[in-house]
Chain A
Amino acid sequence: MSDLSHLHIPDGVLPLWLIGAGWLVAIVMLAVADRRVRGTEMARRVPLVGAVSALMLVGMSTEVVPIAYHINLTVIGGILLGPWLSMVAAFVTVIILALAGHGGVTVAGLNATVIATEMVAGWALFSALTAVLGTSRPRISAGVATVLALALSTTMLVGIVALGGAPATHRESGAFDPATLSFSNPFSEGVVTNTLVAAEAHDEEDAEPVGGIAVRRFAITVYTLGAAGWLLEALITAAIVGFVARVRPGLIFEGALAQPARAPIGDEGLH
């Protein structure tokens, strides 16, 4: 459950201004990323982003051990793509997940921001740790980068939920209250003159918090469950990075785009 840090904020839990802010941040992020990657090598960047995003989706839909745990591969995605394309890949992944029923649709902007942060932080931390530890210890660099990146994104999630505001009340939210149910004919006095009932049936003072978020309890639960997930994700990420570093080290230490492009098959004469 390392992806507790994102994707599972359902629709309708967060206030409208926060959802709008999430979309605004995501749009700005995409605009900046587009500006930085636009122009050269689009034909190479697009399939690469597609392949890495698909890889993350495969990871997110794969149960690793029998505890309903699934991994993100966001840090590996960040290492392969670098910061700007990571932002694009994060948005693409979230949109496809939302349309497949995984994760909220309205909160896709926030989710994209959190995943992008995870990927960019993973890339930055891995690069920094590799610079310090050298290229001979990619597993350690990847593992530490993964734990820190996931801790950061989980903290972002808790921050987002905390920003969501104070708990609403029955009176304020209009939530369903079984005590007010009436099975009498609502149209007994005619459709137009129908006054309906029970508007004054419950006092505002009786209203109890409903639908609000206990941030402290939420943070404790997320950090407790998340910490185990971070470690498991770090172990798997370290294993994958170690494996790839042995067979294709350039992919890990330079990024996928730094690898030399070969001429398309059958078109060698043009180059």
Chain B
Amino acid sequence: MDITILDTSATQGTSWLHRCAPAAKLAAFALMVVAIASSVNVLVVASIAACLLAVATSCRLPAGPLLALSAYPGVFAALFAFAAGVDALGAALIVGRAVTAALAAVVLMLTTPYPQVFAPIQRLVPPVVGDAILMTYRSLFLLVDKFASTMTAVRLRSGLNRRAPLRSASAVSRTLGGVLLYSVDLSQRTHDIMYLRGYDGRLVVSARSSDSIVRDVALVTAAAVVMGGAWLWRTRWAELNPYAWLPLASALIAVLLTLATTLLRKAAR
């Protein structure tokens, strides 16, 4: 889980989706998740994934991290499907839903700075929970850095060796112990900073304004259309299932068109 890539893309990107209001993106994300979770036809799920890929292509999101992060839960979903003993189509549906939901989440996180993603959640939950979410994400960067640098030191001293898993596990355990102590000290330092800055029981994240209301409305409407389509397919599946290839073909054409447009624009520069 390389959160640095997520953060860099979210804060430095300038695409149309980056410029949308975070609230609109969260609403669209929620609609997409409902669409994915309620779909029982694997081709419909694949169509939603293709739509998300078209969006990611149009925003020029980093393809490697996007696909790697999205595919990761697919491994565990496959394990879940195997354990559940479902047939091939059932397994494809389980994996497809997991990967597509992850794709939606990663597109959101690649285009929205984390305080803006967590701010609406922070307003809904008790202060200790809302503030802890923001604080966790902040601490995560520091701990990942600390852990990586310590592991590099361990590796340089030949502490990690795939042929000696017990010794490696022992080295990782000691490193994690050191990171644990560091994390407790880090929380004390953060407490100092919060105290001196006059923390009164609530961290305040100012909402980012939108560049274009029309774009925000269009984004939410598009997501609502996808969700509506998914629901229609779920309720009228007997009539629609024979044509399940149709939305997938349309979505794939959209991906190809977006890709071609992006490449042409790149070549024109």
Contact = CB atoms under 8 A, between A and B. Distances in A.
Interface of A: 4, 7-13, 30-31, 33-34, 37-38, 42-55, 57-62, 64-66, 68, 73, 76, 80, 88-89, 91-93, 95-96, 98-106, 161, 168, 173-177, 180-183, 186, 195-199, 201, 208-214, 217-218, 221-222, 225, 232, 235-236, 239-240, 243-244, 247-248, 251, 256, 261-262, 264-267
B136 A50 contact: yes
B183 A52 contact: yes
Nearest to A211: B90
B80 A8 contact: yes
Given A181-B244, A213-B86, A218-B83, A12 B37 contact: yes
Contacts of B79: 4, 8, 225
A93 B43 contact: no
Interface in B1-58: 1, 3, 6, 33-34, 36-44
Interface size class of B (residues with CB under 8 A): 35 or more
Interface of B: 1, 3, 6, 33-34, 36-44, 69-70, 72-73, 75-77, 79-80, 82-87, 89-90, 93-95, 97-98, 101-103, 105-106, 108-109, 117, 121, 125-129, 131-140, 142-144, 147, 162, 165, 168-170, 172-174, 176-177, 179-181, 183-184, 186-188, 190-196, 199, 201, 233-234, 237-246
Nearest to B42: A176
Given A8-B73, A55-B183, A196 B243 contact: yes
A10 B73 contact: yes
Contact of B196 (A57, A62, A225, A266): A266
Contact of A11 (B36, B87, B245): B36
Given A213-B85, A236-B176, A9 B80 contact: yes
A148 to B, nearest CB: 20
B46 to A, nearest CB: 9
Given A46-B131, A175-B40, A213-B85, A65 B168 contact: yes
A106 B29 CA distance: 12
A105 B129 CA distance: 17
B174 to A, nearest CB: 6
Nearest to B88: A210
For the complex of A and B, the 5 pairs showing the least CB-CB separation, nearest first, are A50-B135, A174-B237, A214-B85, A101-B102, A47-B190
Contacts of B39: 12
Given A48-B187, A101-B69, A175-B40, A161 B180 contact: no
Contacts of B41: 174-176
A174 B241 contact: yes
Contact of B36 (A12, A51, A222, A265): A12
Nearest to A8: B76
A264 B90 CA distance: 57
Contacts of B126: 30-31, 34, 38
A218 B81 CA distance: 9
Given A10-B97, A43-B195, A54-B139, A73 B83 contact: no
B106 A211 contact: no
A91 B129 contact: yes
Nearest to A181: B242
Contacts of B108: 99
A88 B184 contact: no
Given A10-B77, A46-B128, A46-B132, A51 B183 contact: yes
A71 B42 CA distance: 32
